Structure 1
Amino acid sequence: MAQTIDITLTTNKKEKPPENKLGFGIYYTDHMFILDYSVEKGWYDPRIVPYQPITLDPAAKVFHYGQTIFEGLKAYRTKDGRIQLFRPQKNFERLNRSNARLSIPDVDGELALQALQELVRVDQDWIPSAPGTSLYLRPFVIATQAALGVAPSTEYKFMIIMSPVGAYYAEGMNPVKIYVESDHVRAVKGGVGEAKTAGNYAAGLNAQQAASEKGYSQILWLDGVQRKYIEEVGSMNVFFKIDGTVYTPSLNGSILAGITRDSIIHMLKSWDIPVVERPITIEELYEAGANGTLEEAFGTGTAAVISPIGEMNWQDKPLVIRDGSTGELTAKLYDTLTGIQNGDIEDPYGWTVEVKQ
């Protein structure tokens, strides 16, 4: 049965930050969405309320057993004033796949999308319009039952918060430097690597910090068993253009099924550019770099959209790609995808969803 979303508007609106100083995930809008769950009631009491702290019992299972998942997507303001979302249904489909892996009950995708659109409508004045900016949307679920027994929670909160953002990387669309991690392991097949859960990101923080100290923007993870197959960057899936064909690691159970990744594959195929999903070794990549067939490399993700990779470092062996410059295909993909997202280019794929104002 359809649920009515209760809306309580704030009486104390925040001052909005300058659009040229947004950063990423620093500022938050005036309102948020909350939906509660209990075994007896199921998901209940959908509501939009003023942005505020939440109170949890110290024994809440999210703190002790990491039972939490999240999503990330964006809202865009078009030049003619419309508001667009990009493939939001895919985010909620993936959210429920993550829920299933973490023994969290499914969230009604239609209710979640309705809540997301309503929240964006309520806080639409927070959507920035400067080039390269957007409103980042963070749906997430946390286990709230106060019990220390190791078992799935019987109580949860599904929430959505929003943040006006600029570029994820300080480099913007300039190529980033990536450090190939050979010691630490993020995930293995059969684990939770394909779920968007907090532990996956916590597992990478140590290696990420070490890479940052060496001057690298992100970590490129290798597989956790043989330590030779390329998997993903901490916040992005990866693509490599080698001798005219674009390659990306196949989804193997330990790689996040990125929605931007899927969009890029669709776009490449529609342009008749060969794209292959298969296991790729780091040795193969370095060999392509040595013989001159590695033409471009880039990462994809909701936060960064598309980020060119200008240099990689594996076992203290730097590999500079295109002399550190952005490739033509990478730039075309970025311009086309962001053009569709922000309404500058017609959407031939039916990906965008307009939010009623």
Structure 2
Amino acid sequence: MKTEEVTPIKIKKADSSKIEKVDFDHLTFGSVFTDHMFVCDYVNGSWGTPEIIPYQPLVLDPSARVFHYAQAVFEGMKAYRDDKDGIWLFRPDENFNRINKSSVRMAMPEFPEDYFFEGLKTLLKLDEKWIRKGEGNSLYIRPFVIATEPSVMASPSGQYKFVIICSPAQSYYGGEVRVKIADHYSRSASGGIGAAKAAANYGAQFYPTNLANKEGYQQVIWTDSNTHEYLEEAGTMNVFFRIGDKLLTAPTSDRILDGVTRKSVIAVAEANGITVEVRPVKVEEIVAAAKSGTLKEIFGSGTAAVINPVAGFGYKEDKFELPKSSDSYASMIKKAIIDIQYNRAEDPFGWRYEVR
């Protein structure tokens, strides 16, 4: 491996690239990774020298606290290549701030901003051939932090590892999606870690989602843990409801993730004259709107899919199909966001970040 110094990051380049072996036309989301990864260790109360090394397995002690007490947080973001070969990130400051907020909630140390951005830019330039042109093509970026101290004592770790890995991606979801509104299971509880992008949040969703899959649904719309009367998130995404000409979405709280795409959807909608109501949304309100025909759309928002329309939903014994529309809010807002991400339109919000 060739080693060179780029202050303050140490770089060890891979001997050869795997890129020629990758079929970019048939990618399974999150299963192929680029040639390099960013790593930095927290020991003795401070973060050490950040490094970029060839993508490789991590070596951890079986007693590493991440395995026993789930001290792990992560982020999801993307890099895009425009038609002139420029490389862009979308609101990376939001991802940086959120991973540190998640870390604080999980009693983990915050990561330095200069390490994060310099490491991310250096990694992307090193693996820039993995970022392909064309709508739908992107490089999914997964920063994460795990507790690595070897100890099974039930207390916060004294050692951590910050890692960034990258995976070439195409469109995340395909086909029609139908969701079940939960009336028993919850994604998170008041006072818990629902607002943190913590690994434990996602593992807990798998079982009730599997039950919904057996009933023919692809995802679950989660409800509040206290009463199951209020709608909160859809699968791993924030969720929006269109009743008439208004968009409704739940307010963020310690149960609901402050989604980067969610905030972008609200801003784009309002800029286009759409009324957005950020307030608690009752299940009975959505069911009543579906029965009366005023429920026009439901869609989820998130990094992987940007916006994912919902074709229908179920609640208890009832099932509802949503009307198909050629001029939906979902398609208009998604196009506006994607055009900014791929540098095809003006960015009046200042969201685009060029990787130089």
| Same fold at TM > 0.5 | yes
1:190 is matched with 191
Amino acid at match of 2:342: N
Paired residues for 1:281-296 under 5 Å: 281-296=282-297
1:246 is matched with 247
Query: Counterpart of 1:79 in 2: which secondary structure?
Result: coil
The one of 142, 147, 163 aligned to 1:143: 147
Distance 1:332 1:34 in 2: 39
2:41 is matched with 36
Conserved? CA contact 1:296–1:327, under 8 Å: no
Query: Counterpart of 1:21 in 2: which secondary structure?
Result: coil
Distance 2:307 2:187 in 1: 22
Residues 8-54 of structure 1: per-residue CA shift (max 9 Å, x gap) = 110031134222211210100000000100134x0112000000001
Offset of residue 228 of structure 1: 1.3
Residues 115-156 of structure 1: per-residue CA shift (max 9 Å, x gap) = 111111100000122331210000000000001111100000
Offset of residue 96 of structure 1: 0.7
Residues 227-260 of structure 1: per-residue CA shift (max 9 Å, x gap) = 1100101221001111211110111210000000
Amino acid at match of 2:113: G
Amino acid at match of 2:320: L
Distance 1:3 1:187 in 2: 41
2:333 is matched with 333
1:107 and 2:120 matched: no
1:9 is matched with 13
Residues 265-322 of structure 1: per-residue CA shift (max 9 Å, x gap) = 1111212211011000111001011111111111100011101111011113111111
Distance 1:326 1:177 in 2: 19
Residues 75-115 of structure 1: per-residue CA shift (max 9 Å, x gap) = 00101110000000100100011001000011112320111
1:24 and 2:25 matched: no
The one of 160, 163, 166 aligned to 2:167: 163
Distance 1:310 1:73 in 2: 26
1:121 is matched with 125
Distance 2:197 2:151 in 1: 24
Query: Counterpart of 1:200 in 2: which secondary structure?
Result: helix
1:352 is matched with 352
Amino acid at match of 1:106: E
1:237 is matched with 238
Distance 1:328 1:57 in 2: 51
Segments of 5+ residues of structure 2 without an aligned counterpart are 1-5
Amino acid at match of 1:160: I
Q: Which moved more, 1:7-16 or 1:237-246?
A: 7-16
Amino acid at match of 1:91: N
Conserved? CA contact 1:19–1:130, under 8 Å: no
Question: TM-score w.r.t. structure 1 length?
Answer: 0.95
Distance 2:114 2:183 in 1: 42
1:307 and 2:308 matched: yes
Distance 1:53 1:188 in 2: 34
Segments of 5+ residues of structure 1 without an aligned counterpart are none
Quickly say closer, same or farther: Cα 1:253–1:3, change in 2 above 3 A.
Answer: farther
Distance 1:16 1:353 in 2: 30
Distance 2:179 2:65 in 1: 35
Distance 1:138 1:285 in 2: 34
Question: TM-score w.r.t. structure 2 length?
Answer: 0.95
Amino acid at match of 1:58: P
Conserved? CA contact 2:268–2:336, under 8 Å: no
Offset of residue 187 of structure 1: 0.6
Conserved? CA contact 1:73–1:86, under 8 Å: yes
Conserved? CA contact 1:218–1:233, under 8 Å: yes
RMSD in angstroms over aligned alpha carbons?
1.4
1:131 and 2:132 matched: no
